[in-house]
């Protein structure tokens, strides 16, 4: 009878051992942890400008209004070009006159030079012809410059978009008279954006060294930054440094003025990590199952720190190398079978 009980007990222990062996475990490992700070950032356009008049005239036509999309090279505003066209005609006439004078001076110089070589003209006559040619060449250059300037003034009557984007403000109306430097239209490009944050002084050294950042949107999407620019001075009121980071906007859902969260790595240290699926949460309790020295699962309370993806940092309650049960449900079932 005693032998029968012993055999039964051995069988039960063997069954429990098989259950324990079936638990999937992994050792608690130590790995590096990058500490980050989260800052509020504001998105702004890299290319935003107000185009101004570069010549005087009356506004003849405004082709776009606020919120209109424009392509690079589109005509935004057209000015009356009557005065500029008259100046161009006058400059072109002066150029033709200079061309004729230069041609005459060249012919005269060639004739005097030929006579001089035959010793039928004096040195003074040759010098005079050469000076007349030089003067004609100078008048030609001045006339060409006048035509170029007149054409430029003519081109200024058509205000062109320097890049594609959307119009944000309209400063003139049809019929208004404008002068050089007067604002006409404002716009920005949505193709190249950047985010600006105020970085506390104590984090500037590490941020400059790492030059990494992540932009978090309200939708949960994470954007990587392509470059970072640190302003070389601090705000005298807040003692923070402005940091500017370029963004890409492939989805077209980012707009200047939007608020976003920016994560910046500021330090790196060693930490213990466990899978988030191994954590047991009951109200304020945070615990995991580990295998003791008898290969039996035991519940161990832990304190959790940071989370990165599906990994959790353990601040206390576990030691490196301890065997962590990956499935809390399987560990609980094993404990109930052991108690039975």
| Per-residue pLDDT, 104 | 93
Q: How many helices (H) and strands (E) does the chain have?
A: 5, 22
Whats the size of the chain, residue-wise? Answer: 340
Is residue 264 within 8 A of residue 212, CB to CB? The reply is yes
pTM listed for this prediction: 0.59
What is the residue-level pLDDT of the chain in tens, covering all 340 positions? 444 434 333 334 444 444 445 688 888 888 877 778 889 999 999 888 899 999 999 999 999 999 999 999 999 999 999 999 999 999 999 999 999 999 999 999 899 888 888 888 888 888 898 999 999 999 999 999 999 999 999 999 999 999 888 999 999 999 999 999 999 999 998 888 899 999 998 888 888 888 888 888 888 788 878 788 899 899 999 999 999 988 877 677 788 889 999 988 877 777 888 888 888 888 888 898 888 888 888 888 888 887 877 888 888 888 888 888 888 888 778 777 666 5
Task: Report the DSSP beta bridge partners of residue 59.
Answer: 79
Strands (DSSP E) found in 53-98: 57-62, 69-70, 75-79
CB of 199 closer than 8 Å to CB of 207: yes
* Bridge partners, residue 245, by sequence: 195, 228
C-alpha angle 22-27-28 in degrees, rounded to nearest 5: 135
Q: Which of 186, 231, 200 is nearest to 66 (CA)?
A: 186
Of all helices (H) and strands (E), which one includes residue 99? helix 82-117
Distances (CA, A) of 171 to 162, 174, 183: 17, 11, 6
Nearest to 262 by CA among 305, 233, 228: 228
Q: 3-class DSSP state for residue 297?
A: strand
Residue whose token pair is 């609980």:
332
Closest by CA to 190, choosing from 247, 245, 255, is: 255
Q: In angstroms, how far is CA 280 from the centroid of its own chain? A: 41
User: What is the b/e burial string over 72-107, where b = at least 16 CB atoms within 10 angstroms of the residue's CB?
Assistant: eeeebbbbbbebbeebbeebeebbeebeebbeebee
Task: Write the DSSP string, 307-335.
Answer: EETTEEEEEES--TT-EEES-HHHHHHHH
Q: In the chain, what is the straight-line distance between the N-terminal and C-terminal CA atoms, in Å?
A: 22
């Amino acid at each position: 009878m005693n032998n029968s009980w012993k055999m039964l007990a051995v069988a039960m222990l063997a069954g429990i051992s098989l259950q324990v062996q079936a638990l999937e475990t992994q050792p608690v490992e130590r790995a590096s942890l990058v500490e980050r700070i989260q800052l509020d950032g504001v998105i702004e356009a890299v290319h935003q400008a107000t185009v101004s008049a570069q010549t005087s005239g009356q506004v003849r036509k405004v082709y776009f209004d606020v919120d209109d999309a424009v392509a690079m090279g589109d005509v935004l505003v057209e000015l009356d070009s009557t005065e500029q066209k008259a100046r161009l005609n006058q400059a072109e006439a002066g150029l033709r006159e200079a061309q004729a004078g230069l041609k005459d001076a060249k012919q005269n110089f060639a004739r005097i030079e030929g006579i001089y070589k035959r010793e039928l003209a004096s040195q003074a006559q040759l010098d005079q012809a050469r000076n007349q040619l030089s003067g004609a060449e100078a008048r030609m250059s001045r006339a060409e410059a006048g035509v170029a300037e007149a054409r430029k003034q003519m081109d200024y009557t058509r205000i062109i978009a320097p890049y594609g984007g959307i119009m944000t403000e309209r400063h003139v109306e049809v019929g208004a008279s404008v002068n050089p430097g007067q604002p006409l239209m404002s716009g920005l490009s949505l193709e190249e954006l950047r985010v600006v944050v105020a970085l506390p002084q104590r984090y500037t050294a590490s941020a400059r060294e790492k030059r990494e950042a992540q932009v978090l949107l309200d939708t949960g999407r994470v954007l990587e930054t392509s470059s970072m620019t640190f302003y070389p001075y601090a705000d005298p009121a807040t003692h923070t440094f402005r940091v500017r980071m370029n963004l890409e906007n492939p989805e077209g859902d980012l707009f200047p003025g939007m608020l976003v969260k920016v994560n910046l790595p500021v330090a790196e240290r060693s930490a213990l990590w466990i899978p988030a699926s191994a954590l047991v949460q009951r109200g304020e309790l945070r615990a995991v199952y580990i295998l003791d020295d008898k290969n039996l699962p035991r519940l161990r309370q832990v304190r959790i720190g940071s989370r990165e993806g599906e990994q959790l940092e353990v601040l206390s309650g576990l030691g490196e190398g301890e065997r962590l049960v990956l499935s809390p449900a399987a560990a609980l079932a094993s404990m109930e079978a052991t108690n039975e």
